[in-house]
Amino acid sequence: MNEDLLNDIKHLLQWYRLNYGDEIALSEDFSLNLSIEEEEPAPAVPRAVPPAVETDVPSADTAKIHGHHPKLKAFYEQIRDCKQCDLAKSRKHFVFGMGNPDADIMFVGEAPGRDEDEQGFPFVGRAGKLLNKMLFALSMKREDIYIANVLKCRPPGNRDPLPDEVLQCEPYLKQQIEIIRPRVMVALGRIAGQVLLRSEASLKQLRESTHRYNGIPCIVTYHPAALLRNSGWKAAAWQDLKKIKSIMDDV
């Protein structure tokens, strides 16, 4: 058995084990358990403790955002108070991005959701946990990647970004990509793929090819939130993960 095949089997088993525990899947009809265990409820805060003061992203955590990288840090400071579109009025937090500024791979999502807006970091809710599982299947951790969204502020009710919002905000993403200079990019979901690739193709069509973003290989795959809603896409998602792994191995 060649080494590539062995690696494929190893990563497939990791992916299944993460989702199934130690059950073995014998047919393609089974449904992948993408449920994310709920976290233990936080212990009640004693009354004597004063409530936390609401601030923008806590300064102690900004290292997660820019990794002390001088250019990324300066850019974050430059745009963190952006009010260029109406989303600034309804946001709780500006969500710049997060991760390793020296990452070889950069993931791009669509926009912050409720959890991201609450916490100021991308992919921190249930979708974030599933993203961690996807990374594990690629033998990676969150510390190995950089992740950012097309929009830095949450659209109300998680609606799709409006063209004008994308127009205002996308230059920030372009600048982040320019600073991080990843070797591989992964667009999570149709909207991220369409914006990055200047395409109106469907997610299905976008998933069919390896694209180029300014010369960087770019794969489009499912947004983890979509996989949480539809576990029927798990086999296709696995194919995408294999493609990402193969490109990472080649670049």
Which residues, in sequence order, are CB contacts of 214 under 8 Å at separation 6+? 177
Q: Are 122 and 116 in contact (CB under 8 A)?
A: yes
CA 231 to chain centre: 18
Q: Rule CB under 6 A: say whether 150 interacts with ligand SF4.
A: no
Q: Rule CB under 6 A: say whether 153 interacts with ligand SF4.
A: yes
Least distance in Å: CB of 9 to ligand SF4? 43
Smaller CB distance to ligand SF4: residue 9 or 167? 167
Q: Rule CB under 6 A: say whether 204 interacts with ligand SF4.
A: no
Least distance in Å: CB of 79 to ligand SF4? 6
Q: Rule CB under 6 A: say whether 65 interacts with ligand SF4.
A: no
Q: Which of residues 68-107 bind ligand SF4 (CB under 6 A)?
A: 82-85, 87-88, 94
Q: Rule CB under 6 A: say whether 110 interacts with ligand SF4.
A: no
Please, what sign has the CA dihedral across residues 225, 223, 99, 58? Answer: negative
* Number of chain positions touching ligand SF4 (CB under 6 A): 13
Q: Rule CB under 6 A: say whether 152 interacts with ligand SF4.
A: yes
Q: Rule CB under 6 A: say whether 192 interacts with ligand SF4.
A: no
Q: Rule CB under 6 A: say whether 116 interacts with ligand SF4.
A: no
Q: Rule CB under 6 A: say whether 226 interacts with ligand SF4.
A: no
Least distance in Å: CB of 187 to ligand SF4? 18
Burial 205-238 (b: 16+ CB within 10 A, else e): ebbeeebebeebbbbbbbbbbbbbeebebbeebb
Smaller CB distance to ligand SF4: residue 117 or 224? 117
Q: Are 132 and 173 in contact (CB under 8 A)?
A: no
Q: Rule CB under 6 A: say whether 162 interacts with ligand SF4.
A: no
Smaller CB distance to ligand SF4: residue 99 or 112? 112
Among 168, 176, 194, 221, binds ligand SF4 (CB under 6 A): 168
What residues make contact with ligand SF4 under the rule CB under 6 A? Answer: 82-85, 87-88, 94, 151-153, 165, 168-169
